[in-house]
Structure 1
Amino acid sequence: MDVDPQLLLLRRQYLQLFEPDFLAWPSPKLLKNVDAQKWLHRHLFDTNRNPHLPPESYQLRVLKQLTSKMGKGKANLDSDGVLGELAACLTSLIAKKVSSEIKVFQENAYVTFTCIPEKRNDYEDTSEPTLTLLEKRQLVSGSQITGFRTWEGSLHLGSYLLTEAGSHFVNGKNILELGTGTGFNAILAGKHLHANHVTATDGDGGVIEALRENLTLNKIDDQQQVRARTLLWGQDLKGTWVEDGCRAHPYDIVLGADITYEKSAISALVLTLQSLFDMRPKLQVIISGVVRNAETFQTFRDQCASHHFVVEDIQFEAKPMRQQKSLFYAAAVPLKLLSITRP
């Protein structure tokens, strides 16, 4: 059957581990449709067809709400042949006595992001381009180990790169990413946005090892498409692998998301940008971030100005969450995109 957009939206949110209480549930009429029910089981709960589903505790929470919205209790499900597959799945998850929420919250989880270009013609292209990451969902913003999950600033940057204007920054370009974390934007650029080459860097060796796993998960060749390397900010880059990498793949664009929240690291970050501009004077830097602390964000602007960088705001507003069709993230917090160049 032609898949109803309500079902596709639910699957996109579900695979991104959207909070179940805020999922965009299809209409009751659609949920009672036999084909829709079969589709939901096949694409949201069937482990044979979907090797990277959300944690079972999350599946159980969603499935309980789903069956409730269908107007079916467990007893009715068991006796209803139409909903037999969903009933079996629900029974299985309950029987497993899935781990407590606290335990699951501390475990790694597969998170799948749907990456739909803004100008896609749905009449010609009905594919669902995705990338899947293994993340630690228990991390909190502002901690010292934030690189193991994807934050709002990264999703905001990714949403911009999926627009017609943003795609020009990566299509056919050589990219260096600072503070890559899970590698969301590096993988997006290399897998879906036709970047020529991406070098993804982070200062934490453990984050880089996790990134290499995510590259393998997305069938990306580490070295050719996306290269993962450790890079500490504030050091002179001359004579380092960065200079060698720049000769092999001359950087056109530097990307950075969620890297301006730590005031103590801003000076080192700006020194690294200065060193990169010395190697590539026509380089363009794009920084995305949540303005959690206005003073800290202004400190970054001020230090860029003290190095005579030209800092401009990129006008790109996040859509309210209920209007988002993919890459779901909170839009209530202040989000900024900056373009930085050197005269």
Structure 2
Amino acid sequence: MKASDPGIGSEFGLSRAGGYRYSFSRCVPDLTPDRVSYVANGRAAIGLAIRHLRQTAGDGRDRALLPAYLCHSMIQPFLEHGLRIDFYPVADDLSIRPRAVANRVDDSTLVVLWMHYFGFGQPESPAPVLGEERPRVTVIDDRTHMLGTDLRAGLLLSDQSIALYSPRKWGAFPDIGLVAWPDKLLPSESLPRLTDRSYDHHFALWRLVGLLLRALYFALPVESLRRHSLRPLRKADALLDRRIRVRKASPVSQFLWHHWKWAEIWRSRRTNFRYLLENWATPEIRPLYRELPDSVCPIGFPVRTADREELRRHLISRAIFPPIHWVRPAQVPAQDFPGTAALAEEELTIPIDQRYGLGQMDWILEALCQI
């Protein structure tokens, strides 16, 4: 990698070099026609689901059960909609046991948030256990990390859960979140409608400006442009942190979504993940996943190390910008969930997305060997 290259990781840009893959033909069909709501972002997707459940339940239940391994943005919509939150355990290998969840459900529980991590699906579904023992409890299935895997399978829907996706974690979308409503739980005449048909204009505009500036930065990678390109994206994040507005996705993002060349992205991420795994030579930095099943499209290459901050600083010095999934939210008590609290202190995600090829993966491997 040359010194003039824009580095590895950080935000996408609305260009091929910035990670966007576009086709004039329609690539992503309506895999679940009339069952999907297009909203402004992933948090708005959770908010729409909660709002609908509270309106239809009508019985005063106000408790949500969330996994102990998550980020603050997943907690925010539950709190904004007036729900009390409690947590259930997640194993060190990031698997979730439905029985452990069911044991924590009580009569005041309205919803359970179910999670999949890094594109690797959970080994069991909570639907059979909860459906038999707690039929009034609805599962919100956050499948954002499963987006590539689910597109490959040809299905964006959970049979007995409300499925959510945030595609902007995967590519250069100004604003979009998806809510796939289950046919078994919600007949078509009861599907929720967005009471406000407008868009989240400020959020979408800041994001669009940032993505265009990022595209310029990928074409002309100078430090001052890098800083300027990130500012609009940070402003959009700040708007979302202050308040979640449950609004429609912009027409621009809906168009980009349907013309997104996800199959190319699926291949790129799998190739890069497999290459890192096959050439890994730093045993003190441990990959969270040692195998790549045929059906999986990973969102990143998560690793674990006791010296995360040192590793992160070293990688940034080599123009590699790895995100953290995630910093433990203050609401999750570390003493009750020591395993995931420790993981939150040690996890780092190596970027493997569609912007990069094997040359960049070699650069990452070389940087890791130099620490």
TM category, shorter: under 0.3
Larger Rg: 1
TM-score, normalisation: structure 1: 0.28
TM-score (norm 2): 0.26
Higher relative contact order (CA 8 A, sep 6+): 2
